[in-house]
Amino acid sequence: MAYSQETADAICEGVAEGESLRTSAAAQGISHATFLLWVSERPELADQYARAREAGADVEFDGLSSLSDAEPERDEKGKIDPAWVQHQKLKIDTRKWTLARKAPKKYGDKVTQEHTGPGGGAVEVITRRVVDPRGSA
């Protein structure tokens, strides 16, 4: 299929609304591979697609609240169905994992590293100066 800005806009709009690229491209009658080829050939489309992915990740993040706030299913005695709870947990964990890969800076785990010396104190830094015994520089 030949490049069409209208088609590219529609695909980016779908992605920005939280659809996958594959689903959004298929709705426009092209493959996601074709769209990615367009993106690689057009810097302005690459920027548009990057913004759409960011917006789509935000939509997915907002959807986590509705999953966690959903009214639990109950059996005939009014007890919460444990299988339903596990299913909701799986859906939430899967979305969180996906978001952490799509937008690691925003939704990924924050990792920090700290270096300490013995007993948790400061790290001792030793500097040495090497002198040429022959006296040459």
Is 71 inside any structural domain? yes
* Residue 103, Cβ density class (10 Å: 0-12 exposed, 13-18 middle, ≥19 buried): middle
The reported pLDDT for the residue numbered 137 is: 55
Q: Which domain holds residue 12?
A: 5-109
Q: What is the pLDDT along the chain (137 residues), one digit of tens a residue?
A: 899 999 999 999 999 999 999 999 999 999 999 999 999 999 999 999 999 999 999 999 999 988 889 898 888 899 998 999 999 999 999 999 999 988 888 888 887 777 887 887 888 888 888 888 887 65
Is 129 inside any structural domain? no
Is 30 inside any structural domain? yes
Q: Whole-model pTM above 0.85?
A: no
Is 80 inside any structural domain? yes
CATH code (residue 82): 1.10.10.60
The reported pLDDT for the residue numbered 14 is: 97
Which residues have a Cβ under 8 Å from the Cβ of 72 and sit 6 or more positions away?
80, 81, 84, 85, 88
Please give the tally of structural domains in the chain.
1
The reported pLDDT for the residue numbered 118 is: 81
The reported pLDDT for the residue numbered 24 is: 97
Q: Could you give the angle at the alpha carbon of 64 between the alpha carbons of 61 and 69, nearest 5°?
A: 150
Are residues 107 and 61 in contact, defined by beta-carbon separation less than 8 angstroms? yes
Is 96 inside any structural domain? yes
The reported pLDDT for the residue numbered 136 is: 64
Is 64 inside any structural domain? yes
Q: With the CA atoms of 24, 11, 60 and 90 taken in that order, what torsion angle do they form, in degrees rounded to the nearest 10?
A: 20
Is 94 inside any structural domain? yes
**HSE, side-chain direction, 13 A CA sphere, residue 88:** 17
Which residue matches tokens 């917006």? Answer: 55
Are residues 23 and 29 in contact, defined by beta-carbon separation less than 8 angstroms? no
Is 32 inside any structural domain? yes
